[in-house]
Amino acid sequence: MPIIAFWSDKKKETAQTLSMIAIASYMAVENNSKILMVDTNLNDKTIQNAYFGQQENATRKAVKELNAGKLDLGAGMEGMSKLIASGKNSPELIADHANVIFKGRLEAMLSYHSNVEDDILRVKKSYKELIKMANQCYDYVFVDLQKGLGDPFVEELLGIAQVIVYNITQRQIDLDDYTKLKVEHPILKTGRVLPLIGRYDRYSKYTKKNIARSLGEKKDIPAVSYNTQFFESANDGGIGGFFLKFRKSLMSSSDRNNIFVDEVANTVDRLIYKTQEVLMMR
């Protein structure tokens, strides 16, 4: 049961979290995978806003219908970290504290919100144990890591991931930095890394094929395109409804969202293949 870390050393916007959200949502809806998303970023509402928003809306109604009227908001990392610190580390406790998105298929441990250093330190110490526990009862554990190098917390979680989805942009300087990092950083030499282009612009000269050639990759780089409706849904709690509405079996080939969904589907296939490849090497 693989642990997938979404990460980049670049501080610039790479749509890392939204790419993870798109992949996890698609896999939960189309592949019927059981996934836990773990947001290790502090004071970040990206995942919360994407699925739950601030008000009652179509997504909440769709989620409630799918979950037979049950929307479990749990106790989050605050409660989970206290249990882990006390030695109560049963994997079954995770479901009691995670936010349910699609019951039995997609849950999220949302970002921890605090400015109290002692509380932050306690919670950060619990993430590794939480992820290892989740690995026992979910098909996939997706971990959204804070960007950058040099933080022991980030390095530790990268170390336990079977696959690292490294988020890049279509900027030449970022591509050059990634090429250099592959040579210099031990983690990127392990064969566990899958580069992913976020907010992909298919009209740019930096196409998936050209970027793959530049990076020395044998296959096109997977991408999650910029899609107006997807990004708007991510701001108002509509992501769950988006992927329920635009299921591949229900979509017309002429639908303007078809290209976006196809690219997410291709990215999912590449991620699954990469995961199987890495697990076979061990």
Predicted local confidence at residue 90, as pLDDT: 78
Amino acid at 279: L
CATH of domain 3-281: 3.40.50.300
Predicted local confidence at residue 10, as pLDDT: 75
User: What is the per-residue pLDDT across 110-168, written as a single tens digit (0 to 9) for each?
Assistant: 999 989 999 899 999 999 999 999 998 999 999 999 888 888 999 999 999 999 999 99
Instruction: Give me the count of residues in the chain.
Output: 282
pTM recorded for the entire structure = 0.89
What CA–CA distance (Å, rounded) separates 91 from 98? 12
User: What is the per-residue pLDDT across 208-265, written as a single tens digit (0 to 9) for each?
Assistant: 999 999 888 888 899 999 999 999 999 999 999 999 999 877 777 778 899 999 999 9
Give the residues across from 164 on adjacent strands: 5, 193
For 169, the enclosing helix (H) or strand (E) is: none
Predicted local confidence at residue 73, as pLDDT: 41
Closest by CA position to 59, among listed 24, 98, 102: 102
What CA–CA distance (Å, rounded) separates 1 from 132? 10
The mean predicted confidence, pLDDT, of the chain is: 87
Q: How many helices (H) and strands (E) does the chain have?
A: 12, 8
User: What is the per-residue pLDDT across 11-55, written as a single tens digit (0 to 9) for each?
Assistant: 667 789 999 999 999 999 999 899 999 999 999 999 999 999 864
Predicted local confidence at residue 282, as pLDDT: 67
For 155, the enclosing helix (H) or strand (E) is: helix 152-160
User: What is the per-residue pLDDT across 153-205, written as a single tens digit (0 to 9) for each?
Assistant: 999 999 999 999 999 999 999 999 989 888 888 887 778 899 999 999 989 99
Q: Are 165 and 188 within 8 A, CB to CB?
A: no
- pLDDT of 7 strictly over 70: yes
Residue 168's SS3 state is strand
